[in-house]
Chains A and B, each alone.
Chain A
Amino acid sequence: MSSESAQANAATEARFRIDDANWRQRVVKVMALDRRSEPVVRRLAQGRWGGATFFTASAFAPAPSPNTDMQFSMASWLSDLAGRTKDLVDELNGADLVAMVATAGENLQQVAPVIGEACKAKHVTTIAFVLGSASIPQDALSRTLRQLRPWTLMLVIAPSEEAITETLAALRA
């Protein structure tokens, strides 16, 4: 008599698998971290997505200096692709994943910690894609990675925009 595993693993058993959807739509926020990534995110936004929305952080103001009495606010630190200002914290409420898109060699010192800290505070998982690594010196790439590393669970040196599209699709964005 064959074992339970032998029966269960057989190809013919596949037809008895539950066919209902085993997932609910994830809420994914895709954010361009620098000006060169913005057109990439605009092109990504043209795809068919279930739960992904797209933003740019390239209009971010510099981080507030401790010497100024300027009121620090997350409210003006994010824009949607139509240019409307969005509140970062509001956007993170209910988000499942933040996908950051950055260009190798760009300075992310201001923007990465703000998004990273906010995601940390909101317990939102992060993934970061770095594009354009082939065209810059290794130390410049390392600098970009260093700036992202503390703020992301998965850091991907993406070979192409298509790799980002495929990854987001694989993650059911």
Chain B
Amino acid sequence: MLRREQNELLTQTGPNTPGGRLFRKYWIPALLVEELPNAECAPVRVKLLSERLLAFRDTRDRYGLIDEFCAHRGVSLWFGRNEEGGLRCPYHGWKYDYTGQCVEVPSEPEESGFCKKIKLKSYPLVERGGVLWTYMGPPDKRPPLPEWEFATVPREQSFTSKRLQECNWLQAMEGGIDSSHVSFLHRGELSSDPLFKGAKGNQYNLGDTRPVFEVAESPGGLYVGARRNTEDGNYYWRITQWVMPSFTMIPPRGNHPVHGHFWIPIDDENCWAWSFDYHALRPLTASEIAAMRDGKGIHVRYVPGTFRPMANKDNDYLIDREAQKAGRTYSGVAGIAMQDASMQESMGPIVDRTKENLVSTDNGIIMARHRLLRAIKDLIEKDATPPGVNTQHQRVRSASVVLEPGQAFADAATDALNVRPGVAHSTV
């Protein structure tokens, strides 16, 4: 349960909101690199943190992320002509470069220098690991580029997708640190999904539906450990990483690629669920990539030409009551991603947390909210840099391990929870 004002602090991320200031401390994923496939390609509308922006790639392959609307009469530059080093508004020909600087106002004498007085708001847009990242905070506070492992391994070792989720970012993200739902909502997929099935750990997941939890703060966020019994009296631990503000990494299963998410606010009622898979040591196989493109694992199939999932609220998520009854899927919705999204969207665009009744196994969620609220307070009162900005906080891994009962996961798995170049994830 949260008080109304706490809920608003955490769920509102527009300009000049406390939560918005927090998100504007980080590099966040903005677009897939293939959305701007070549120089002078069509510009792309981007809404992030409740700001309407436009991304484009100019003649010299420079990426720009600028205010969507022309400074002259407010026309959307999505109609613009991407030509000769800038984006030209087709209404009256005003032209902007990749920094948002107006470089031509055809109606004014060139010598007047009028165009120098016009500049659209812009943000940096930088490619890393197949993702275009942006930083929307004050330029003088720009942190180092992100160093998440999935974005720094060779490209053939990772796959990233994004999907529209039609609810606030926080309720989507909270699903990412809520391990206890897996044994119910996703139980069908543990045996059938090509990117999940076959791992020894799945048997422990299915065999013990009442996991016991331990939560500890990590430098950048939280470790959420879920403990289940093994057949020989040891404990099977699944340790999820949450790094501020909205990165979650799911513990690995067998030799499958490791999955994770970023939950990035579009506005207060929609977010992007960024989903990545990578393997620290080997290229992804053709069949793994084919499965990801086919919407398996944590990915989805799309409505053609969009990033909206094929199963969505407009078609009741293609719910199949017979599959639900027969146990092929637990909720009747197919696919891990849409199983989560259908639950979270059904809460409404922004869930009213004053009405919820959390239990002790929700403590990962409680602690994450607490840490976010603390970071917002420290940011507002002391301008303190929040956890997760430091790139060292980003060089983390999730892990699944079997430990003797006396061992603490955060202690025994210290190495496993950090990036170790040339060493595989610790997995069961």
Contact = CB atoms under 8 A, between A and B. Distances in A.
22 contacts: A3-B316, A5-B316, A6-B313, A9-B346, A10-B349, A11-B269, A11-B348, A22-B357, A97-B360, A126-B360, A145-B214, A145-B408, A146-B406, A152-B212, A153-B213, A154-B215, A156-B215, A166-B373, A167-B366, A167-B367, A171-B358, A172-B357
Contacts of B405: 149-150
Interface in B338-352: 342, 345-346, 348-350, 352
Interface of A: 2-6, 8-11, 13-14, 17, 22-23, 97, 125-127, 133, 138, 141-142, 145-146, 149-150, 152-157, 159, 162-163, 166-167, 169-172
A11 B268 CA distance: 11
A25 B315 CA distance: 39
B411 interface: yes
Nearest to B213: A154
A35 B400 CA distance: 36
A55 B345 CA distance: 42
B180 to A, nearest CB: 10
A122 to B, nearest CB: 16
A5 B349 CA distance: 12
A156 B367 contact: yes
Contacts of B315: 3
Interface in B359-412: 359-363, 366-367, 369-371, 373-374, 405-408, 410-411
A153 B360 contact: yes
Contacts of B355: 17, 22
A171 B360 contact: yes
Interface string B269-304: 100000000000000000000000000000000000
A120 to B, nearest CB: 13
A169 to B, nearest CB: 7
B323 interface: no
A5 B215 contact: no
A9 B349 contact: yes
Given A166-B373, A172-B357, 12 more contacts: A6-B313, A9-B166, A17-B355, A126-B360, A152-B212, A154-B360, A155-B212, A167-B363, A167-B370, A170-B362, A170-B366, A171-B358
A166 B370 contact: yes
Given A125-B360, A146-B406, A154-B363, A3 B314 contact: yes
Nearest to B352: A14
B424 interface: no
Contact of A169 (B1, B166, B411): B1
A9 B345 contact: yes
Nearest to B223: A157
B2 interface: yes
A2 B315 CA distance: 8
Nearest to B315: A3
B217 interface: yes
